[in-house]
Amino acid sequence: MRALVIVLMVLGFVVGGIPLLGVLIDVMTSSDKEIVYQGGYAPLTNVQMSRDYESSLNLYFDSQSNASRNWFILASFPFLGAGLGALTAALMGRRGWRLTRA
């Protein structure tokens, strides 16, 4: 049963790491250059804004402030996968599943 737990734990860790790996590849390959606006600008004072646009702006800036929390959740995926793999292996071992060499 120990071999079954170890195999499924490693498999769960690897599968859980796929989203983390995808985000890290995206961060490493995206350009960090900022676009500087060169046109004319007039401040938009006393301009009415629709409720929909206001709520979408609020959601955008709220999501930007939670970036560190999102990284922590994303980094926990491999460990969650490993835990679920170990739990699955323990349940399968209790049901009689065994890993044997052919």
- The pLDDT tens digits along the chain (102 residues) read 788 888 889 999 999 888 888 888 887 887 766 767 677 777 767 777 788 877 877 776 666 666 677 778 888 889 989 999 999 988 888 888 887 776
SS in 3 state form for the chain?
A: CHHHHHHHHHHHHHHHHHHHHHHHHHHHHCCCCCCCCCCCCCCCCCCCCCHHHHHHHHHHHHHHHCHHHHHHHHHCHHHHHHHHHHHHHHHHHHCCCCCCCC
d(CA 1, CA 20): 29
Q: What pLDDT score does 37 carry?
A: 66
pTM score of the predicted model: 0.56
